[in-house]
Homo-oligomer: A and B are copies of this chain.
Amino acid sequence: MPTIKDVSRLSGISVGTVSRYLNGYKVKKDNEKKIQEAIEQLDYKVNQMARGLKTNKTFTVGVLVPSITDIFSNQVIEGMEEILDQENYSLIVCNARNSLKTEKEKLRFLKEKRVDGIVMMPVSDEHEHVKEILEEGIPLILIDRLLDGVKCDAVVCDNVNGSYKAIEELIAFGHRRIGIIAGPTNVYTARERLNGYIRALSDYGITIDDSLIEYAEYRKGSGIEAYERLLNMENRPTAIFATNYETTMTGIKYFMENGIAIGEEISLFGYDNSDVFQMLTPSIATVVQPMGEIGEKAAHLLLKRIESDYSLFPVVSRLKTKVLSGTSVKNLSKLG
């Protein structure tokens, strides 16, 4: 592999000047030409490691998500990759596997790898490890979930509003007894979505019935018992609002397997769209989040922080969600 010294030798220009050229400083026209030619001829590429040793930059950022394979993380990663690539940064992905312990390990891992910055979606409210990173001055952007007591940039969705709109649509369709599969109380988005539910009901003058509020983990396959309880209660809800992708899936699966006609016997409103939801019969109404956009925004903000531009810190971007209607919601008001 050719080094800067080889370029220097071949072009007859000193190493210092070649370095200046490489870093975009001005050099004399004909020197520039000579250097360029030498670089071309040798196919010289800067050794990022040597450079990093001096500059303390790795041109690498880490992204840490609770689960690599879910649509949300995926799209976020895709969005980030696009932006980072333009700036020549590489993206290291880390999977917390829905475990706080793993999350902590991975954060340490990223720190040891000396990434220039981190984008992270925390698995829970626990945040000591996040605080530590921030205190060390490593730029970090939270996504999807805010962390109470941590002063930190973040890009999230307006969950309260997303949830609110879903409930509003259910109400408009004549539903009054609406069950909710809320998420873990130690998850920020879960609390917000529950808030949106409560607020919407209150605003429309419907009293909150605590027995309609069920909790489930936000992971694959979770929530079966929650659905069971809601279905088997004496005065069962006409609609159920599932507050994330996994519990939405669980619901669809549960109803289908038990021969309960979604959109007829029970209405279902989900969260986070998958391509397939629109193909199901009935199609599933969901709250959709601009996931790619979260990734892009987070990447941009992170790059700003990496360049030591801490203007407006901490920035908390709240992106709007949309509601996608579906036949999984029965229009009860037609009947009355």
Contact = CB atoms under 8 A, between A and B. Distances in A.
Interface of A: 45-50, 52-53, 58-60, 62, 68-69, 71, 74-75, 77-78, 81-82, 85, 88, 90-95, 106, 109, 112-114, 249, 252-253, 256, 274-277, 279-281
Contacts of A253: 279
Contacts of A106: 85
B95 A82 contact: yes
Copies assembled: 2
A93 B77 contact: yes
B48 A112 contact: yes
B94 A81 contact: yes
A252 B279 contact: yes
Contact of A113 (B48, B62, B279): B48
A68 B77 contact: yes
B279 A256 contact: yes
Nearest to A82: B95
22 contacts: A47-B53, A50-B53, A53-B53, A60-B90, A60-B92, A68-B77, A68-B81, A69-B71, A69-B78, A77-B93, A88-B109, A90-B92, A91-B92, A92-B92, A249-B275, A252-B279, A274-B276, A276-B276, A276-B280, A279-B280, A280-B280, A281-B281
